[in-house]
């Protein structure tokens, strides 16, 4: 029997995409993939280090995996992803349950590394760079997280070095994927029946491939704008993209969306703070007004574009006055939803050296206050969808109610509605009848799609 590998993924979409790549490579090398640690010979944890809590989870999880099979000497445990890249050797010191550490650019070499552990080598570690020109980006459909929605990395790494963020250290410098590979992947997914792709990257606006062949015939203010038009031209029914960095967010992105119905009505544009003073300490490279100008442009679009954001509360030195400016900005932007993060000190980042980290109680109360301000505008936005018909890609049966299906709208709202499972994978029109806190409820009106 082939050895079975179980990959558990924490963190962002990039990690999900990396796990899919890793699984593809492992299966090609003669391993079987399974969906539970209990029956696996090899457990790989694909980790996230963006906040301290995410990082601690790794140790807890290794403890659990080992405790479930205390006498199983053949069980192999590997740590991959951002924690592996950052912690390296120290992971072996902190936990005796780890056999292997695989950095963020060593995914392609996993089969060789596993082999080394199986041959008896102790503490196998690879924090090296990718093998230039040999990167295996291909993902087999069986390894994708969904048969209907696919993540396509277009750029890896980040050059922005926001002062709080560990990503430039864990994922390294930006590397853009060649256009032809991206377009080939979209076309392949189309022929397999995929209905939606997400072009993903830490900062998709920075997309700048060394080889631009394939973009010549597409106009656009930046390579990313041209890529959007090129991907739209494939005819993939729905195209979404994350994450956009405010300073690099060119208004032509909105024009590209307006020109192409298959570019979806959703923009994720993290602001982090509403205070210029804090934005400067964060080294974000944008001011409040620059950001608001971009928001105004998005709101003035002929398409109704949903808008989401990330915000950090309790950044070192954030005063009540700074925080009030964040509240004010959130009211003004009327986001469809936001992710709120309590600031988490990451060793090695410039912000870690800043004084005056907010006490837990302040952090908590700011978190709750921001959440309640957002809830208020979110209610109004969600209520405004009642009576409207949305185009929904049906992704699966709802876990809450057996009679309901669940999917996302082009404006990236979760939409539930009663329906039969044969509709899974189809794009349908749903009339919204009810707005919940973080989702919409409706009824099927027909099966033909509108953008
Ligand atoms: N541009 C990236 C951002 C990665 S981190 C992307 O979306 O791919 C995602 C979010 O985590 C950031 O936007 C930020 O709001 C939050 N975050 C990052 N570092 C953090 C830290 N040290 N403490 C709290 N939140 C953090
Ligand atoms: Fe992090 Fe800023 Fe890049 S939040 S991922 S350093 S854009």
Please check whether residue 159 is in contact with residue 180, taking contact to mean a CB–CB distance below 8 angstroms. no
Check pocket membership of 161 for ligand 2, CB cut-off 6 A: yes
C-alpha–C-alpha distance, residues 11 and 167, integer Å? 12
Q: DSSP state, 408?
A: E
How many other CB atoms are found less than 10 A from the CB of residue 95?
15
Q: Give me the pLDDT at residue 416, please.
A: 97
User: Which of 86-90, 135-139, 179-183, 239-243 shows the lowest per-residue confidence on average (mean pLDDT)?
Assistant: 135-139
Closest C-alpha to 110, from 17, 31, 200, 2: 31
**Ligand 2 atom index nearest CA of 166:** 1
Please check whether residue 219 is in contact with residue 229, taking contact to mean a CB–CB distance below 8 angstroms. yes
Report in angstroms the alpha-carbon separations of 307 from 22, 60, 383.
32, 35, 16
Domains assigned to the chain: 4-126 (3.40.50.12160), 141-383 (3.80.30.20), 389-445 (2.40.50.140)
Residue 293 pLDDT greater than 90, yes or no: yes
Q: What does pTM read for this prediction? A: 0.95
C-alpha–C-alpha distance, residues 203 and 206, integer Å? 6
Phi, psi of 306 (to 5 degrees): -75, 145
C-alpha–C-alpha distance, residues 249 and 222, integer Å? 10
Positions of E strands within 48-129: 76-81, 100-102, 124-126
**Ligand 2 atom index nearest CA of 270:** 4
Query: What pLDDT, in 10s, does the model give residues 424-442?
Result: 999 999 999 999 999 999 9
Q: Give me the pLDDT at residue 321, please.
A: 98
Which ligand has the nearest atom to the CA of 161? 2
Q: Give me the pLDDT at residue 130, please.
A: 83
**Rounded distance from Cα 163 to ligand 1 centre (Å):** 11
C-alpha–C-alpha distance, residues 300 and 146, integer Å? 34
C-alpha–C-alpha distance, residues 29 and 107, integer Å? 13
Which ligand has the nearest atom to the CA of 270? 1
**Ligand 2 atom index nearest CA of 165:** 1
Please check whether residue 333 is in contact with residue 294, taking contact to mean a CB–CB distance below 8 angstroms. no
**Rounded distance from Cα 25 to ligand 2 centre (Å):** 29
Query: What pLDDT, in 10s, does the model give residues 95-106?
Result: 999 999 999 999
Look at ligand 1, atom 10, and give the residue with the nearest C-alpha.
310
C-alpha–C-alpha distance, residues 201 and 155, integer Å? 5
> Region 183-206: what's the mean pLDDT?
97
Helix (H) or strand (E) holding 445: strand 439-446
- State the SS3 of 297-356: HHHCCCCCCEEEEEEEECCCCCCHHHHHHHHHHHHHHCCCEEEEEECCCCCCCHHHHCCC
Residue 451 pLDDT greater than 50, yes or no: no
**Ligand 1 atom index nearest CA of 200:** 8
Which ligand has the nearest atom to the CA of 167? 2
Check pocket membership of 268 for ligand 1, CB cut-off 6 A: no
Query: What pLDDT, in 10s, does the model give residues 354-401?
Result: 998 889 999 999 999 999 999 999 999 999 999 999 999 999 998 888
Report in angstroms the alpha-carbon separations of 437 from 220, 251, 332.
37, 31, 20
Check pocket membership of 164 for ligand 1, CB cut-off 6 A: yes
**Ligand 2 atom index nearest CA of 161:** 6
Closest C-alpha to 425, from 190, 194, 120: 194
**Rounded distance from Cα 119 to ligand 1 centre (Å):** 39
**Ligand 1 atom index nearest CA of 339:** 15
C-alpha–C-alpha distance, residues 159 and 411, integer Å? 29
Residue 133 pLDDT greater than 80, yes or no: no
Q: Tell me the chain's radius of gyration from C-alpha atoms.
A: 22
Polymer length of the chain? 451
Which ligand has the nearest atom to the CA of 282? 2
Look at ligand 1, atom 5, and give the residue with the nearest C-alpha.
50
Q: Give me the pLDDT at residue 447, please.
A: 61
Query: What pLDDT, in 10s, does the model give residues 30-69?
Result: 999 999 999 999 999 999 999 988 878 899 999 999 999 9
**Rounded distance from Cα 264 to ligand 2 centre (Å):** 24
Please check whether residue 174 is in contact with residue 158, taking contact to mean a CB–CB distance below 8 angstroms. yes
Residue 152 pLDDT greater than 50, yes or no: yes
Check pocket membership of 249 for ligand 1, CB cut-off 6 A: no
Phi, psi of 250 (to 5 degrees): -85, 140
Which ligand has the nearest atom to the CA of 14? 1
Helix (H) or strand (E) holding 186: helix 179-191
């Amino acid at each position: 029997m082939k050895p079975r590998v179980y990959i558990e993924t924490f963190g962002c979409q990039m990690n999900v995409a990396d796990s899919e790549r890793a699984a593809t490579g492992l299966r090609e090398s003669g391993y079987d993939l399974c969906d539970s640690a209990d029956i696996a010979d090899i457990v790989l944890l694909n980790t996230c280090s963006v906040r301290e809590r995410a990082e601690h989870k790794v140790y807890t999880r290794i403890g659990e995996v080992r405790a479930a099979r205390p006498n199983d000497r053949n069980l192999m445990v590997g740590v991959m992803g951002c924690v592996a890249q950052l912690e390296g050797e120290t992971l072996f010191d902190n936990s005796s349950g780890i056999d292997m550490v695989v950095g963020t650019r060593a995914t392609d070499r996993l089969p060789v590394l596993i082999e080394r552990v199986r041959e008896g080598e102790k503490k196998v570690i690879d924090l090296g760079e990718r093998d230039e020109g040999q990167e295996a980006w291909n993902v087999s459909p069986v390894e994708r997280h969904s048969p209907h929605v696919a993540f396509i990395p277009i750029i890896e790494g980040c050059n922005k070095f926001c002062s709080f963020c560990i990503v430039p250290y864990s994922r390294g410098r930006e590397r853009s994927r060649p256009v032809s590979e991206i377009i080939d992947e979209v076309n392949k997914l189309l022929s397999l029946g995929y209905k939606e792709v997400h072009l993903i990257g830490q900062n998709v606006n920075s997309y700048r491939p060394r080889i631009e062949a394939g973009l010549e015939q597409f106009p656009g203010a930046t390579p990313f704008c041209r890529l959007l038009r090129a991907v739209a031209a494939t005819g993939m029914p729905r195209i979404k993209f994350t994450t956009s960095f405010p300073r690099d967010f060119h208004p032509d992105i909105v024009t590209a969306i307006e020109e192409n119905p298959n570019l979806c009505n959703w923009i994720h544009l993290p602001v982090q703070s509403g205070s210029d003073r804090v934005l400067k300490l964060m080294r974000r490279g944008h001011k409040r007004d620059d950001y608001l100008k971009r928001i105004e442009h998005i709101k003035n679009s002929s398409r109704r574009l949903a808008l989401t954001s990330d915000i950090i509360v309790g950044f070192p030195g954030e005063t009540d006055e700074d925080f009030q400016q964040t509240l004010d900005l959130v009211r003004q932007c009327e986001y469809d939803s936001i992710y709120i993060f309590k600031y988490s000190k990451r060793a090695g980042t410039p912000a870690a050296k800043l004084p005056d980290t907010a006490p837990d109680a302040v952090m908590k109360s700011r978190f709750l206050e921001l959440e309640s301000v957002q809830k208020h505008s979110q209610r109004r936005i969600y209520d405004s969808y009642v009576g409207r018909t949305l185009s929904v890609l049906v992704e699966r049966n709802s876990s809450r109610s057996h009679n309901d299906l669940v999917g996302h709208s082009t404006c990236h709202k979760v939409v539930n509605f009663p329906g039969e499972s044969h509709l899974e994978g189809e794009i349908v029109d749903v009339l919204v009848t009810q707005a919940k806190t973080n989702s919409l409820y409706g009824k099927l009106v027909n099966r033909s799609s509108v953008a």
